[in-house]
A and B are shown apart, each in its own frame.
Chain A
Amino acid sequence: MTAPLLELRGLSGGYDPIQIFQNVDLVVERGQTVGIFGPNGHGKTTLMKTISGVLEPWSGDMILEGVRMNREAARGSRRFRNFNYAAITRRRMDPKAVARAGLIHVPQGNLIFPEMTVAEVLSIAPLAAHGRPDSAGPGLAEIDLLFPRLGERRASKIRYLSGGERQMVSIAAGLLAAPKLLILDEPTLGLSPKLRLELEHSIRKIKEMGVPMIIIDQDVGFLTRLIDRLHLFDHGRIAQSLEHADIPGHDALMALLFGEALT
């Protein structure tokens, strides 16, 4: 049996000294697209940042295609509160190593590099796939098919793009890195319904290209139409995992998350 694409075992983390999520176990099978849904401020984004190595995990393991990406936990042995351990210890997880291994995280918020042009951002995006043997990802031609709008905006700075176009640049940059797993953190945030629909169309195409994804979003309908499995995230842990067929409607989901009182 081959190892799953991504496996989290008892992952905990947060912003020192505040723990945001604890003991998260999550498995993403190969070829699967999963959604994560939950209230704001409960640690979804923090969890994703920890998976991609930007934040250091406190404990637990992150395993990508059977390879553990984090070092052994060293955190528990930190006896002196004000000692600069960062000076003498290496990071528990290296975001570069994670990205080069093929997990690409498209961050929340879309103003990635405000003073760079679209063409410049797209030109450095494939660097993440450098030195990986199976790095034949989509090229610029595919990106143009996926996001026709970006074709005519190549010379514009990100700062001058609309919210939707910025999101498209972020996702396009992620795709050029030949991802084995693509994390989209709230791609529809702040987009108009029309743009949401356009984006949904593009993300479906990405799925058809065979790129597995983890999508975080507040729009259940949007999620349900795109994913194979839904994880409900609440108070820093995964409260429930649902197969696609079992995903209830919006109201029932709210009841699941918040109890009967709120429905």
Chain B
Amino acid sequence: MIMSLDTFLSVAAGGLVLGALYALMAAGLAAIWTTLGIFNFAHGAFIALGAYIGWQLVDAQAAGLGLVVGVAGATAAMFVFGILFHLALVRPFERRHDIVIASVITTLAGAAIIENVINLIWGPRSKQLGLIAEGQIDLGFLNFPLNDLVLIGCVIVILASLGWFLGRTRTGRSMRAVSQNREAAELMGLDVPRLYALAFGISAAMAGLAGIFIGGIRFMTPTMGTDPLMTALIVVIFGGIARFTSPIYAALIVGMVESFSNYFVGLYWTPAILFVMMIAVLFFKPSGLFSHHQRTL
């Protein structure tokens, strides 16, 4: 046998946690990609900023407001920040036909600015947010850290609320309408600029939450979002974006692959394996594994 059952289960559990985090990040990334048709390279910086704002509000050395208030405050702050980011760096180019390339440049620039501002405010020394919940939970066959369980539970709740918002509310439906056919949505009198801003706000809030979760299990640095952003990109391409659930399945697969390849092949080979997988998907099924139509960029 290659590995014992215990090891298998704990590696799989690690993959589940990674998958949940990637699902959160990829869903945020896809929210902008599908709605505005652009790729937000600052999503990684959003993740870092959310984590640092969370740290500022939660940590005892800073504001020390406690976990719940801190997380809520950081999420709200990131929502507003996302709207401002859109207003300053994307909106001015929305009526140009070269919006896609212009937004690549402006969001990359925005990412660099955010990371440097984090560096200026909080310094380059890494910080840690601390676990959301301490202790282990004994599932009989496996000791599962309570923190991971809470994390997965939170991600499920967040994604379920996003699904409810997109499917059941008029604003969410309008957002989907804009993403599927901007011109027809404009003709229906939907407020497209406001829906775009809303998509950015929601995406940034989700990035901030992801950052806070990551800050609990890893050290925070100003560039902490770069690697997760790359993986989230793989997830989005892997799963496709036709439905908002498709990146979620892909995130679980990518999380599992990463967890098992870390165990078997080693940490440094994992990105290579993931990118080879991504290229294979692009080669054989460009629209993504779980979708049949791709938003053209």
Contact A112 B186 (CB under 8 A): no
Contact A177 B92 (CB under 8 A): no
Nearest-Cβ distance from residue A216 to partner chain B, whole angstroms: 14
Beyond A86-B92, A123-B170, is A177–B188 a contact (Cβ under 8 Å)? yes
Contacts of B135 in A (CB 8 A): none
Q: Does A124 contact B (CB under 8 A)?
A: yes
Q: Which residue of A lies closest to B178 (CB)?
A: A113
Q: Which of B93, B173, B191, B293 contacts A116 (CB 8 A)?
A: B173
Q: Does B237 contact A (CB under 8 A)?
A: no
Contacts of B191 in A (CB 8 A): 96
The CA-CA distance from A54 to B243 in the complex, in Å, is 27
Contact B188 A99 (CB under 8 A): yes
Query: Binary interface profile of B, 165-196, with partner A (CB < 8 Å = 1, else 0)?
Result: 00100100110110011011111111110000
Contact A124 B92 (CB under 8 A): no
Q: Does A95 contact B (CB under 8 A)?
A: yes
Q: Does A44 contact B (CB under 8 A)?
A: no
Q: Which of the candidate stretches A100-108, A136-144, A229-237 sits at the interface with the other chain?
A: A100-108
Contacts of A95 in B (CB 8 A): 186-187, 189, 192
Q: Which of B92, B174, B187, B243 contacts A99 (CB 8 A)?
A: B187
Residue picked from A87, A113, A114, A125, most chain B C-beta under 10 Å:
A113
Q: Does A77 contact B (CB under 8 A)?
A: no
The count of residues in chain A whose C-beta lies closer than 8 Å to any C-beta of chain B is 35
Contact A128 B188 (CB under 8 A): yes
Contact A116 B184 (CB under 8 A): no
The CA-CA distance from A112 to B187 in the complex, in Å, is 11
The CA-CA distance from A105 to B186 in the complex, in Å, is 10
Nearest-Cβ distance from residue B162 to partner chain A, whole angstroms: 16
Nearest-Cβ distance from residue B158 to partner chain A, whole angstroms: 22
Contact A116 B189 (CB under 8 A): no
Contact B174 A115 (CB under 8 A): no
Contact A115 B242 (CB under 8 A): yes
Nearest-Cβ distance from residue A189 to partner chain B, whole angstroms: 15
Contact A96 B170 (CB under 8 A): no
Contact B176 A113 (CB under 8 A): yes
Contact B188 A125 (CB under 8 A): yes
Contact B181 A113 (CB under 8 A): yes
Q: Does A84 contact B (CB under 8 A)?
A: yes
Nearest-Cβ distance from residue B15 to partner chain A, whole angstroms: 30
Contact B189 A114 (CB under 8 A): no
Beyond A86-B92, A123-B170, is A113–B177 a contact (Cβ under 8 Å)? yes
The CA-CA distance from A111 to B177 in the complex, in Å, is 12
Contact B189 A177 (CB under 8 A): yes
Q: Does A121 contact B (CB under 8 A)?
A: yes
Q: List 26 A-B residue pairs with CB atoms under 8 Å apart, sorted by A's residue number.
A: A84-B96, A87-B92, A95-B187, A95-B192, A96-B189, A96-B190, A96-B192, A99-B186, A99-B188, A100-B189, A107-B183, A107-B184, A114-B293, A115-B180, A115-B242, A115-B243, A116-B176, A120-B173, A120-B176, A123-B173, A124-B173, A124-B174, A127-B170, A129-B189, A130-B189, A173-B188
Interface residues of A (CB under 8 A from B): 49, 52-54, 84, 86-88, 91, 95-96, 98-100, 104-107, 111-116, 120-121, 123-125, 127-130, 173, 177
